[in-house]
Amino acid sequence: MMDARTPALPAWSGEGEQAKWEDRTAIITGAASGIGREASLALSRAGARVVLVDRDKGGLEETRSLVGSGQALVFLADLLEAGVENAIVDEALEKFASPDILVNCAGVFPTRPALDLPVQEWDGVLNLNLRAPFLLSQAVARQIVSTGRSGSIVNIASTAGVVARPRVAHYCASKAALIMLTKVLAIEWAEHNIRVNAVAPGLVETPGVTGSLTTEEDEHEHQQKLAKIPLARSGEPWEIADAVVFLASSAASYVTGHTLFVDGGYSAGHTFRG
């Protein structure tokens, strides 16, 4: 596995691009840890102001301290609460400016055999992984349209949206739907100069993933996944964040409706080791 680190600023968001980011405001959900935190750091390094959204207060404050309080706004929220999407946009408007970048990263991935899956858990996963991104995208898009500016929405999908896995029927379904939602919103909102894309990570070393390895069965499945990745390693959160910054940047100005797989080749085909 590669060392966990934050890389240098990507070339497409370096000093030559800095002026293009200085007046941009990005909302990132799931910003308290993992991919959401790294996306927040990467966007702030590029020059954007960031609105950090999560329900984990301690994690949010830590992310803000890493970003720098002058460039970051913390919004403690449960994305399943009615009307929260409008409250987030209003807070961004009040403290910074009209948001023109949205990264829908918050999500959950509990594991359970389909035969034992209760409807409450199904609804909880679909609501957070699909309904919440749609409602926040809608709220941000309406604000962008009202200003006449351009915008970029990046949804964090998953290889599980195209490659089925056991014991995560609800998660796979939510991410497959998010990939299709990305395409639909891209074609509907193109006339408003709003690009909508997705990043589909493979196996990534996040606190959520490592924390889920609580049984021998979980650890065995984890090793099986690693054995099927052509690059023979898991990814790092900053590698996903770099893809997010690319899709949000002017380097991707002619890219919309696309899902960028950042998965070590997992979705291309499997290798089998051991």
Give the CA diameter of the chain. Answer: 56
Q: Tell me if residue 254 is catalytic.
A: no
Q: Are 173 and 150 a contacting pair, CB within 8 Å?
A: no
Q: Which of 132, 154, 151, 172 is nearest to 38 (CA)?
A: 154
Classify residue 3 by its DSSP letter.
P
Cβ-Cβ contacts under 8 Å for 165 (sequence gap 6 or more): 172
Q: Write down the catalytic residue from 171, 238, 246, 266.
A: 171
Alpha-carbon distance values, 197 to 85, 104, 111, 140, 243 (Å): 19, 11, 27, 15, 11
Q: Are 272 and 212 a contacting pair, CB within 8 Å?
A: no
SS3 218: helix
Please state, in angstroms and rounded to a whole number, the distance separating the CA atoms of residues 163 and 203.
12
Active site members = 171
